Amino acid sequence: MSEKIIIVGAGVAGLSLAIMLAEQNIESQVLEARQRFDGPTSGVRISAEGVKLLRFMKVDAIGEETQRLDLRFGTLSASFSAPQRDATAIVVTRLALHEQLMKRALSLGIRVVTGFNVAAMSESAHRVEVTSDSRETVTGTVLVGADGVGSKLRHRLNPAQGSTKTYAGYLGVGFITGDDTKTEMTLHNYPGHRVGIASCGKVHEAARKKSIFMWTHIAMPEADAKLASRASVEAELARRAERWSPELGSKYRQYAKDAEAILAYGPIYNGTPPGRWYSDRMILIGDAAHPYGPGGQGISMALKDAKALCAVIACGFAEDNKREFQRSRAQESRTLGEAAEKRNAKGPPSTKWGILAEGLTMKAAEIFTRGRLEF
Ligand SMILES: Cc1cc2nc3c(=O)[nH]c(=O)nc-3n(C[C@H](O)[C@H](O)[C@H](O)COP(=O)(O)OP(=O)(O)OC[C@H]3O[C@@H](n4cnc5c(N)ncnc54)[C@H](O)[C@@H]3O)c2cc1C
């Protein structure tokens, strides 16, 4: 097929689509606003289904396998393991994942243009055109919006809908410190906050040591979240750490002493999935199509979108296939994304009694499910 596909955004969705298209000999070009991909990174969990798709793209051997989820509520604990499958979920840094996707994309000869901030787009009967904020233009036959939670293409396709991003109510904080010991994914519950910890493998390919990733959320108004500084985030972490268990406290002190430790934080945005995902020559995938914040599924969703859209493009980008793509992908995003949104919106209990009640519920769930759960 002789289509030239333009993909806006070199995130997981955009790069994965380009890789899958290249494997079908379909040419694409990726336009990315950022100049560089380094700087503070954080960890992410990729579900077993996502890991299978990464392997399918020959992106492998990254991150740390996580087969267990441990929950701690004071002295109470509950532990769940995932059903044994042919792939295991992993925790990996965004940087390590991006490095491997870029490496694979470049090995397939895919053109990734950085510093191209798409400002405008248009379509006619036979082609699409995108223009950057520095007035460069690129033309093609199909335009894919893989431009994330604040997607311009989503807004272009849904001008009347409130489809811009909305603030989720908190600052996402993650920090990474060198630690070769294997730590299973564990969620510790304290009044008013939770903190998660897991091994995440190497931060980037050249790193000498493996690391652990710790994460927590800090609720605050959007204006404060935008003004948060490293010093204010560290002061809040130190305040919280005074209550943490000795095990968690020692990991935190390790972070505080490590000159190479990484702290990443930022306001979290989400949004409402739009009514219209596509037009004659344009289509959305990833967070641009279903803009949800953290929930442990966004990356796998982006990978699955890429696989499904690759098939739609390979079959000629026909109306029926696009309609089915939107229907099936929206349905999955409602099941997974909205569940995650509800979980995040609820927030942790603010009293010791609330934590005890939650702990007892999870202990009962552990007994009832024999400690096996999809997560
Ligand atoms: C704090 C936090 C924690 C999370 N944790 C997890 C987790 O543990 N597991 C999980 O699966 N998911 C997690 N998610 C969700 C996950 O990060 C997203 O679902 C996933 O990154 C979506 O990928 P994407 O490629 O669609 O979008 P993005 O990764 O946002 O990529 C979009 C790309 O488009 C580029 N772009 C944007 N606008 C333009 C433009 N105008 N022109 C050119 N380029 C543009 C951006 O620079 C970016 O590179 C988390 C999200 C947050 C915020």
Res 373: pLDDT: 82
Sheet holding 118-123, edge to edge: 118-123, 128-132, 137-140
Name the residue with tokens 């919006």: 145
In a domain, 193, yes or no: no
Laid out side by side, the sheet with 5-8 consists of 111-113, 28-31, 5-8, 142-145, 282-284
In ligand 1, the atom with minimum distance to the C-alpha of 10 is: 49
The count of domains in the chain is 1
Q: Which residue has the CA at smallest separation from atom 15 of ligand 1?
A: 298
Task: Pick out the chain residues at pLDDT < 50.
Answer: 1-2
- How many separate helices (H) and strands (E) can be counted in the chain? 10, 18
Does residue 317 sit within a domain? Answer: yes
CB of residue 298 inside a 6 A radius of ligand 1 = yes
Q: Is the dihedral of CA 82, 87, 88, 89 positive or negative?
A: negative
Whether residue 73 lies inside any domain: the answer is no
User: Residue 274 belongs to what domain range?
Assistant: 5-39+97-165+270-342
Q: What does the alpha-carbon distance between residue 128 and residue 322 come to, in Å, rounded to a whole number?
A: 17
Spatial distance between the Cα atoms of 215 and 201, rounded to a whole number of angstroms: 15
| pTM assigned to the model | 0.95
- Is the CB of residue 277 less than 8 Å from the CB of residue 330? yes
Separation CA 188–CA 171 (nearest Å): 18
Q: Give pLDDT tens digits for 50-70.
A: 999 999 999 987 899 998 999
**Does the residue 296 lie in any domain?**
yes
> For 72-117, how does the pLDDT look when each residue is reduced to its tens digit (9 = 90+)?
999 899 999 988 777 889 999 999 999 999 999 999 999 999 999 9
**Strand, coil or helix: 286:** helix
Question: In Å, how far are 2, 54, 161, 167, 263 from 271, measured between CA atoms?
Answer: 35, 26, 11, 8, 26
CA of 375 to the centre of ligand 1 (A): 21
Taking CA atoms only, the protein residue closest to ligand 1 atom 35 is 9
Nearest atom in ligand 1 to the alpha carbon of residue 286 is: 26
211-219/90-93 β-pairing = unpaired
Asked if residue 44 has its Cβ within 6 Å of ligand 1, the reply is: yes
> Is there an atom of ligand 1 within 6 Å of 165 CB?
no
Q: Which atom of ligand 1 is nearest to the CA of 14?
A: 25
Q: What burial letters (b/e) apply to 107-126, b meaning 16+ CB within 10 Å?
A: eeebebeeebbbeebebeee
User: Which single residue is written with the structure tokens 């909305």?
Assistant: 166
Instruction: Please give the distance, rounded to the nearest whole angstrom, from the Cα atom of residue 175 to the centre of ligand 1.
Output: 18
* CATH number of the domain encompassing residue 316: 3.50.50.60
Residue 123 covered by a domain = yes
Query: What is the amino acid identity at position 27?
Result: E
In a domain, residue 58? The reply is no
Q: Does 258 map to a domain?
A: no
**From the CA of 193, how far away is ligand 1's center (Å)?**
24
Q: Is the CB of 32 under 6 A from ligand 1?
A: yes
Residue 214 domain-assigned (yes or no): no
